[in-house]
Structure formats: structure tokens, C-alpha cells
Amino acid sequence: MSESTSKTGKPFPSAKAVEEILGKAVQNALLMHKRLRNPIAVYQDGRVVIIPPDEIPVEDDGRTVKVVGF
């Protein structure tokens, strides 16, 4: 078994593919919080900061998700 295949013989996704999938998951989570009017908590400058829904850095055009900042 090589390092790039699993025990089932299926290839592992590339690091770039994993990073892209995780990035989309974060974007969707931020958008969900914004749409549901829930704040998020981030760790900034050694402390926890609560960001209100109106200030969550994600654009919502009703169809796609695009993170602005972070």
C-alpha cells in the first residue's frame, strides 16, 4: 500500500482538494450563521471575540458564498 492510497485501495484526495473542501465548509458555516442571525466567536489577539451577524465577513447573494476577509 502506497502513502497515497487508503486500505481500500482508493486514492486519498490531494492536500489542495482537502483545503478547498474545508474552505467551502467554513464559508457555508459563516453564511449559515449570518442568515440565521447568530454571532460567531473567533480567537483574536489572545482573546475570544464575539462577532455579531451583521459583521460576519461573508457576502450573501442568495446563491453563492464568498468570504470577505479572514
Distances (CA, A) of 59 to 18, 27, 50: 23, 10, 19
Position 21 in a domain: yes
Per the structure, the count of domains in the chain is 1
Q: C-alpha cell of 5?
A: 492510497
Position 10 in a domain: no
Q: pLDDT tens, 1-33?
A: 445 667 787 787 888 988 988 988 898 899 999
Q: Is the pLDDT of residue 44 over 90?
A: yes
Position 34 in a domain: yes
Position 24 in a domain: yes
Q: Is the pLDDT of residue 48 over 90?
A: yes
- Structural domain range at position 40: 15-67
Distances (CA, A) of 66 to 9, 26, 38, 41: 35, 10, 18, 19
Using only C-alpha atoms, what is the Rg of the chain? 17
Q: What is the pTM of this model?
A: 0.67
